[in-house]
Amino acid sequence: MDYIPDGSIQHAGREMHRRELVLQVWGRGQALLVTVCSWGLGLLACVVVALVLTVVGSTMSWYNRPYLVLGLYYSTMIAALMAVHWGLTLLRRRHAGEVAGGLKVLGESEECNDWNILERYWDATQLLWLVLVLWLSSKNVLSYYLPTLWAVCTGTAVCVLSRWTLGLGRKGNKLGLLAVFLGASLLPLLFTVYLCFNIHMAIIPILGRNGTLGSPEVVVAIMSGVLAIACTSFVCPCTC
């Protein structure tokens, strides 16, 4: 048996570790790009709906019936987010069936499954929320407590308890893993929904009284799209 120097083994181990680290960072960078692009496409879809309503002369239907924003803009944003995630998931699974050993997507070097991808989407979304926390706190905006709550609750489930939560998925306990993820999102989701309700109750009457100024339909579309992102940013990847 040939003798392999210990130094060569250590060097190979360091190279593998460095390569895996680069792939993990690259994978999360791709997840970050997909997340931002899905948000942008969702906002664009909301604006398109608002412009169509403006062209056909059916604007400000939400003034007397504020609940219409749920069907007009919230559902549009959520549909766009889910379409992006579902589309990429279908492409990955289709290609995984054609390529031996699975598809190397989002930087996965050896094992690539839905739970690894989900973890990376959550890491990317947490990074965006943390950036928002830093920006709001630097501007002395007291509402930074909301993204902080999202980051803390989801970070506890995915980062602190990562070995346990992802172990559930790898063992086939998909319902248990989804329950953990959705449970971690429950408390911040309730606060976010309450905030959305109050924002709409405060802003919609003002925009209705000033409907001749600017484009209130576009303003409501963008506002509703952003609030829909706040409500579903961690939930949509779980549906794929």
46: Cα separation from own chain's centroid? 17
Q: Rg of the Cα trace of the chain?
A: 22
User: Could you tell me the pLDDT band of residue 79, with boundaries at 50, 70 and 90?
Assistant: very high
Query: Is a pLDDT exceeding 50 seen at residue 82?
Result: yes
Convert the pLDDT of each residue in 89-124 to its tens digit. Answer: 888 777 766 554 444 444 444 344 667 777 788 888
Convert the pLDDT of each residue in 176-233 to its tens digit. Answer: 777 777 888 888 899 999 988 988 888 877 776 665 556 888 888 999 999 999 988 8
Given this model, what pLDDT does residue 126 score? 86
Q: Which residues contact 106 (CB under 8 A, 6 or more apart)?
A: 26, 27, 28, 30, 31, 112, 116, 117, 120
Given this model, what pLDDT does residue 100 score? 43
- Pick 79 or 101 by higher pLDDT: 79
Domain ranges of the chain: 9-95+116-238
Q: What is the mean pLDDT of residues 10-25?
A: 68
Cβ(188)–Cβ(150) under 8 Å?
A: yes
Q: What is the mean pLDDT of residues 132-155?
A: 85
Given this model, what pLDDT does residue 224 score? 92
Given this model, what pLDDT does residue 66 score? 82
Convert the pLDDT of each residue in 148-164 to its tens digit. Answer: 888 888 877 766 666 66
Per-residue exposure over 37-65, b if at least 16 CB sit within 10 Å of its own CB, e if not: ebbeebbebbbebbeebbeeeebbebbee
- Pick 166 or 120 by higher pLDDT: 120
- Local structure of residue 157 (DSSP, 8 states): I
Given this model, what pLDDT does residue 234 score? 82
User: Could you tell me the pLDDT band of residue 137, with boundaries at 50, 70 and 90?
Assistant: confident
Question: Helix or strand or coil: residue 161?
Answer: coil
Given this model, what pLDDT does residue 225 score? 93
Convert the pLDDT of each residue in 23-77 to its tens digit. Answer: 777 878 888 899 999 999 999 999 999 999 888 888 778 888 888 899 899 999 9
179: Cα separation from own chain's centroid? 17
Token digits of residue 135: 């920006």
